Amino acid sequence: MGVDKEMKLAELLTEGSDIKTLKANKKPLTDEEREEVLKAGAVWHHGPNGAESPAVWKSVDKNGKTTYVVNTHRAYQTAPTLKGAIKHYAFIKTTA
């Protein structure tokens, strides 16, 4: 494998798995996604006067692949689906 191919492979393997990359590609949830997260109770109380805000957010890479993320300052988990990220919330909440 040539140097260029090895560099591309290394870039693909690290891209999207790093929280910094995910945050750099952060996009707002759609109204429907936001509603589903709130309805499931996967929330933080970071809004005005402790109002609920979604604990799940999404990242869209340059190829259009969406990754849903739930995190605290100690840990994060990703999922390819919104429902998967909502399921991860139960564990991530314990790291808060």
Task: Indicate the pTM of the whole model.
Answer: 0.80
The number of beta carbons lying within 10 Å of the beta carbon of residue 93 is 15
Q: Which pLDDT tens digit goes with each residue over 82-95?
A: 999 999 999 999 99
Q: Which pLDDT tens digit goes with each residue over 34-51?
A: 999 999 999 999 888 999
Assess contact for 69 and 61: CB atoms under 8 A. no
**Strands, sheet with 76-79, edge to edge from the N-terminal-most edge strand:** 26-27, 56-60, 66-71, 76-79
